[in-house]
Each structure stands twice: as structure tokens, then as C-alpha cells.
Amino acid sequence: MISTADFLQAETNLAIDLDGDGKTGFSFSATKTVGTVQFGSTQLGYALFNGSNPLLAITNAGAVATEAGGWSALAAAAAGNGYELYWKNSNGTYAKWILNSSAALTRGFVISTADFLQAETNLATDLDGDGKTGFSFSAVKTIGTVQFGSSQLGYALKNNNNPLLAITNAGAVATEAGGWSALAASAAGNGYELYWKNYNGTYAKWILNSSAALTSGLLISTADFLQAETNLATDLDGDGKIGFSFSAAKTIGTVQFGSSQLGYALKNNNNPLLAITNAGAVATEAGGWSALAAAAAGNGYELYWKNSSGTYAKWILNSSAALTSGFVISTADFLQAETNLATDLDGDGKTGFSFSAAKTIAAVQFGSSQLGYALKNGNNPLLSVTNAGAVATEAGGWSALAAAAAGDGYELYWKNSNGTYAKWILNSSAALTSGFVISTADFLQAETNLAIDLDGDGKTGFSFSATKTVGTVQFGSTQLGYALFNGSNPLLAITNAGAVATEAGGWSALAAAAAGNGYELYWKNSNGTYAKWILNSSAALTRGFVISTADFLQAESNLAADLDADGIIGLTFTPSPSSTSTIYSGSFTTPNEVDSYSVDVAPRTIISASITTPSQQSLYPRINLFDASSSLLKGPLTYAKDFADLGMFDLITGKATLKVDTQTGFLGDYELNLSFINREAVKNEVVSLTNAQRLQAGLNPLTRNLLLESAAQAHVADMDASNRYLAHTGSNGSDPVTRIAATGYKGGWVDLGNGQLRTISSENAAAGQKTPAEVVDAWMNSPGHRAAILDPYTKEIGIGFEFDNEVGDITAQGYKAGTTYWVQNFGYPWQTGMQVWF
């Protein structure tokens, strides 16, 4: 057996690749070259080439060295008669071997990182392949010619072109530790000063000798640190500020107030920044107190404070801005200071006393300042409204409304949330001299006198809302209760024993009317009862009493007013279609009395009215009919000492007024007799009475036909309109058959059963009868008319009815104005299969 070395040497000697590995003899792979020395590996292990000398295996006790135990060889360099070989362990430790000229180990030892980096520097070679050769320095801060930073060992500094110096403490390179970080270094004397900052905000300084070794260290205050920044003109801690930074919050004159990193400070013009101090400590925000602004005062300064509770305070500072005395001040004193300094000290957007006017009366503005109620009279100074020295404010439900000049002072009006009013008498300084509750009436009178809506209800003084007007008298309400206006006279409150009348006990006042030297006031209770008050010329109650519904309605009629707003004035008759008459008992109780009765019936209802007096009493009554616009429609046809007859009248609209009086002014009782005739009811009743006669005779009842009725109605209208005649021939020469045929009615031929046919063409006409019974009786008492009614072949009937309202004389035929016209048309209807007559 031979060794691998002997085998490779044989390949070399024979110049043959004996084992076919692609290599002949020893193959050398260089990894690092230092000078003429190449370091690398062969198949046996580490080796080196020096120039053109033979390859040397690096050996330890005859064995070729290899990577082992975490150690790797990095590079070799010539040294004396041999070599130096540098190693690095995976744990970061470095070592050096001393080799003889044959590259055999003579001795080896661990070296420090510093020694290793120094070797890199000496050899100008990156031995460990970390991309750096020797010590690498990263500068973080430069002050003058001194660069401060770090090397691989820790903190270091470089002064100009001098060698890099590791900063050391007892021989150890300084590093970040215990929350402390070095910030910067500067030249100082024969050495250096190094500044540190702890993460808790504490600062420190090291004194270094010329080799950057620590000689002494001490904590320094923030102020000392900031002063050092200022002296060095450098932002040592990288906070973006160099030394003391001052942020001004408020400027008054030449004095700027604000804060530095230490706390409150001030700057007066171009003088140095002054920290504001209390017993040597810089003042800061504390206990809810914040400093607001500073101003020059005497040889020093005044500093104003505000607490979160709203309290104010002032500090007196000397020329160095140190506290000499301090005390709480009132809001008033603070606002006065704002005024004096012309500055909004507390940043509320207001400078000094701010006045918000709520109401102005003439030259007096009333409102509030920050202290409470205040007033301003013209250009005079603002006055706080005070009570016993305290500024008045809203309290106990009381709110001040407005102030007005009064004598040498002022009047101040108040209102409570319960609706009560009060007045304060103020002197010329707006201080209370006396105060008292006032009535609503007095308050409203004050509004009227001042021509101002004091309480903001949208009304100035007494506001009157009229609900009913009778003649010149307007009745309604004010804020106090019921009142009335008569023409242009002053408003009068309606009173009872001095108290203004109001709705009470279910009673509501409806309307007032002039009566004699005073007024009448009408009331209605929720139970339907009526009452009347007699008022004097001042609208004060003199007496009052319950009245009947009849008396109330009579009052409505007399006053021509709908007093209770039921849509009806006075007594109103509204009969149903079957109603025929109504009797109303009335009485003339005062001379020249006129009683009115409203009529509201269906349009085209015919009214008949008359008056009688009991026991033929001599009243000489009269009755007249007026339309809705009070125009006379009809007067009495006849009247005597105990009787008056209006006759009949067709109410076209259904609405009218009957007025009853006496010719002589006599007093006494009367009865009004009213009859109502509804046209449709009249026609129905004529048909009913006609059929009653036919049924009595054993004949079939007739059916009402609208076409026959159209022909009948056209004929009565023609008789009424054309000189009021009575005939079967119309004014145009028409006969009944022609008129019926013109409507489209189809009449048939009646088969008499004996081979004969006949037609039905009967017509009955009449004039002057007042009722359906009267006209049917008249026809039944006339043989020709009776035969038409009782014709057994008749099947259908149509009724015409008209009333003449015209006023005039008896016509040539004897028919006078106010008469009635009646027509019956009879027919036999055509049916399928029947011969048509027309």
C-alpha cells in the first residue's frame, strides 16, 4: 500500500492521470492570494503556492490540515522565513497559525477580532470574505472634524485624517447597552466629549482622552443637553431641533409666549429665550391649569392661566421670567385683561367682554356677556345688570327679556317659565334698586307703550283676534280673554267684577252687538243652553241671564248674524218632501220690532205663508219675503188688523228670509203659518190620488212615464210663460198627440175585442188649484176629465206642474199672478207585434 500523496507524486513523476479523475498529480485550487502567496486546497487538504516555488501542503504534525471542528482556513501570507495562516470558527472566533518555510505548523493561537481586522488592514486583504477589509467605519454624526459612528467592534470616531479610534471603557469597545445609545462625539481639549441618551429620556456625557478611552462620565440635564446642541450647532438626538426649540402660541406686543422642550417659555423681542420657572423648575401644564399668554408688565411679565374648571389665575414674573407671586382672578378681571391687552387670551374667539344683543328698544340694547345679562345704551360703555353686586343670569325659571330707558335708569322685563311676568327697576349703572311681579295686562301694556314684542311671541301688546262681527262691533279674544272692538274705538276687555271674561264651566261667548249705550254678549254652554250678558259702554257686565233657544234664534234673526256658527241664521225651516205646514208662535215685545225667519228648503219648493193673531188681536201684521241678498221677492197679497197672507211663491234657490212686523208698532203675540210644496212630491201625489180613484173604480193603477211627463211639463210651462192661459192647444198650435209624439213616446192601438181599434190620446189640464187633492177633485167633478182618469184602456200617465211667480194683474182669461198650472197626459204603450199609432 502507498499513501495518496505517494500516488499523486507518482502521477506527477510519470506525467500521467493514473486513476482517470481528470487530474494528473496534485491539483491545486486557490481561494485567496496575499502578495505572492496563493492559498487554497489540493486533494489532500489545505496547501499554498509561493511564487514559482513548489506547492506546499499545510501540515500539523505531518498531517495535511483540513476544515475541522467548525474551523475553516481563510488565507495565508508570507511572514519572516515562513508563513501566517488565518482561521475563523463558525462561532465567530479567529485564530492564527505560524508556519515554517515548508508550511508546517510551528505554533497556533486564538486572536481577537481586533487583531484579525488589523491583519486585514496590514495585508490590505478581505480575509474572511465579508466584503470589508479591516476595520469598516459607518459615521452617523459629524461635528467639526470629528466623525462619530461604529465599526465592527462597536462605537468609534475618526478625527480628520487620523486613524480610526475605537471608543473604549476599561479597554472594552463601547456599544449600545442598558437602554443607552451614543449620539455624537466632539473634540474637547486634548480629547473628546461623547453624548448619550437613554430610552427613558435621560441624557449623559463621557469625557474621552486622545485615544477615545473613557476618563469620566456623568448624567446631564435636558437643559444641559439642549445647551450642548446649541453650543455645537448640531441636532445631537435627531429630533429635528437644535438646542432649545421655541413654539410661540400667543404674542402680545413684543412678548412671545409659548413652549420649549422644557416647558413654558417667553421671548421678548430679540432677547434670549426665557424659561418660565417656579422655584427653579420650568413651569408646565399641571393640575388642569394651562398657561395662555404673557405680557410685559413693569420690569417683568404677567402670565395668564386657565383651569379646566373655568377658573382663571395670574402669575407675576420677574425679568428672568421667574415667578414672584401668583393668585386666582375673577372672570371679570380676566376679560378686562383681554380688553386692556386687546388680545383674545383664551382663544374663545372673543376679546374681552363680548356682548350679544337680544332685544333693542330705542337706544338701549339688551343681551348677555360672558358674565350674564348686560345692556348698552347708545355709545356708552357696556353695563352688567347686577343684583347686590352679582351679575344677573337666568335662574329659577326666570329669563330676562328686554330693557328700556326709564328716568335716570332702566326697566328690565322678566318672564318665568310658568308664565308669570316681573319688572326690575335699575339705576344708571344697571344695578337693581327694586323688583316686583307684574300682571300679564301690565306686561302687555308695556309692550304696547314700547311698541316692542318683549317676549318674542310674535305679538306686540294686546293682540285681538276677531271671531264674529255684528254691525260695527267685532267680538273676539286677546291674550287675557274676551274683548270687543266697536268701530275705531279702543279695544275693550269684557269684564265681570273686574276680571276679564274667559271660557269657563262649559260656557263660551259667541258674539257681541251694540245695544243702547252698551252691548249685548251672547253665550252658549256645552249642554246647549244659551245666555245673554248686558254690558255697559266699557264692556263690563251689568247683568246676565239664561235665555231660551227661541230667544237666541230670534236674536240671530234680529241681528241677521249666525251667532253660534251652525250655518243657520235664526229659526230655519227645512221640511221633508212630505211636510205640508209649520206653525211658529212669535211675539212683538218692542216697538218697531222686526222678526226674521230663515227658510232653507230644496230648490223650486213652493212656499205659502200667512200670519194670524190670537182672538183677532189688532196688530195689523205684515209679512214680506226676501232673497239671500235681502232683495224683496214678494209682499202680502192681503193684510188686515189680525191677518196677513203672503200667498204662494216658488223658491228657485230654496233659500229665503221671511220678515214679520206690524204697521203700527203694536205689541202682542202672533202665529206664523208656513206651507211648503215640493214639486216632485206634488207630481207623485197627483199620480197617487189618480190611482186611488181608479182602484176605487176597479181599474188598474197607472204607471208614471217620463216621456209623457216631459210632454205634460212642456205644456204647463208654455201656459205659464205665454200670457198665462189654460187650453189644450199650445201657443204654437200644438195638440196633445203632437206634443207626446215629439218626445219619442210610442203609442199603440187598443184592440176593443169587437174588431175595432182605438187610440188613447187624453189630456187633462187645470189652473189655480193649490194642492194635488184640490186639482184631482176638480177633474173628478168634471165629466170629460173624469172619463180620462177612469179610462179602462189607459196604462201610463205623465204629470206637468208649474207655478207662476210673476207679479201682475188678472189676465184676459182670468188667471192672476201666483197661480198654479196642472196637466195629465195619458198613454197606451206600443208593444212588440202591435200596430204603432205614432
- Sorted by where each begins, the domain ranges of the chain are 4-123, 138-232, 247-341, 356-450, 465-559, 578-677, 679-827
Q: Which fold has domain 578-677?
A: Jelly Rolls (2.60.120)
pLDDT of residue 559: 86
Phi and psi of 814, rounded to 5°? 95, 10
pLDDT of residue 834: 61
pLDDT of residue 576: 37
Domain over 679-827 is classified CATH 3.40.33.10: yes
Give the integer Cα–Cα distance in Å for 714 and 717. Answer: 5
Please name the helix (run of DSSP H) or strand (run of DSSP E) that holds residue 711, with its range, or none. Answer: helix 706-721
pLDDT of residue 603: 78
pLDDT of residue 758: 57
Give the integer Cα–Cα distance in Å for 83 and 22. Answer: 31
Selection from 700, 739, 699 nearest residue 718 by Cα: 739
Give the integer Cα–Cα distance in Å for 517 and 470. Answer: 16
Phi and psi of 549, rounded to 5°? -60, -35
Q: Do domains 578-677 and 679-827 have the same CATH topology?
A: no
Please state at what angle helix 772-780 crosses helix 679-696, rounded to 10 degrees.
40
Q: Strand runs (DSSP E) across 459-594, as ranges?
A: 465-470, 473-477, 482-486, 492-493, 495-496, 499-500, 507-515, 518-525, 530-535, 541-547, 571-573, 581-588
Give the integer Cα–Cα distance in Å for 633 and 626. Answer: 5
Span 621-675, pLDDT tens digits: 888 888 878 888 777 655 678 888 776 677 777 788 888 888 777 788 888 888 7
Low-confidence ranges of the chain (pLDDT < 70): 571-582, 616, 636-639, 647-648, 721, 750-761, 805-818, 832-838
Task: Evaluate if pTM is beyond 0.75.
Answer: no
Give the integer Cα–Cα distance in Å for 258 and 303. Answer: 11
pLDDT of residue 251: 95
Q: Contact, 550 vs 558, CB < 8 A?
A: no
Helix residue ranges per DSSP H, 251-317: none
**Following DSSP, what letter does each residue of 579-614 receive, concatenated?**
--EEEEEEEE-STT--EEEEEE--TTEEEEEEEE-G
Phi and psi of 485, rounded to 5°? -120, 130
Give the integer Cα–Cα distance in Å for 230 and 224. Answer: 10
**Following DSSP, what letter does each residue of 71-126 receive, concatenated?**
EEEEEEEEETTEEEEEEEETTS-EEEEEE-TTSBEEEEEEE-HHHHHHHHHHHTS-
**Rounded alpha-carbon distances, angstroms, from residue 671 to 582, 584, 770:** 10, 6, 21
